[in-house]
Amino acid sequence: MDGRDWKKFLLPYEQTVEELKVKFKTLRGELKSREEYSPIEFVTGRVKRISSIFEKAKRLNVPMEKIETGIEDIAGIRIMCQFVEDIGRLAELIRAREDMTLVYEKDYITNKKPSGYRSYHMIVEYPVQTALGMKRVLAEIQLRTLAMNFWATIEHSLNYKYREELPAPVVNRLSKAAEAAYLLDQEMSSIRVEIMEAQQLFEDNSNIVNRVLNGIQELYFFHRVREAAQFQMRFNELWDTNDTWLLRELSDQISDAISRAKKNSL
Q: Which active-site residues does the annotation give?
A: 140
pLDDT at 97 over 90: yes
Confidence of residue 202 (pLDDT cuts 50, 70, 90): confident
pLDDT digits (tens, 9 = 90+) for 129-157: 999 999 999 999 999 999 999 999 999 88
pLDDT digits (tens, 9 = 90+) for 159-175: 877 777 888 888 889 88
Separation between Cα atoms, residue 47 and residue 53, nearest integer Å: 10
pLDDT at res. 102: 97
Q: Tell which residue, 11, 118, 18, 150, has the closest CA to residue 77.
A: 18
pLDDT digits (tens, 9 = 90+) for 10-21: 999 999 999 999
User: Are 152 and 89 a contacting pair, CB within 8 Å?
Assistant: no
The reported pTM is 0.80
Burial class (CB in 10 A: 0-12, 13-18, 19+), 35: exposed
Beta bridge partners of 120: 107, 143
Mean pLDDT confidence for 73-93:
96
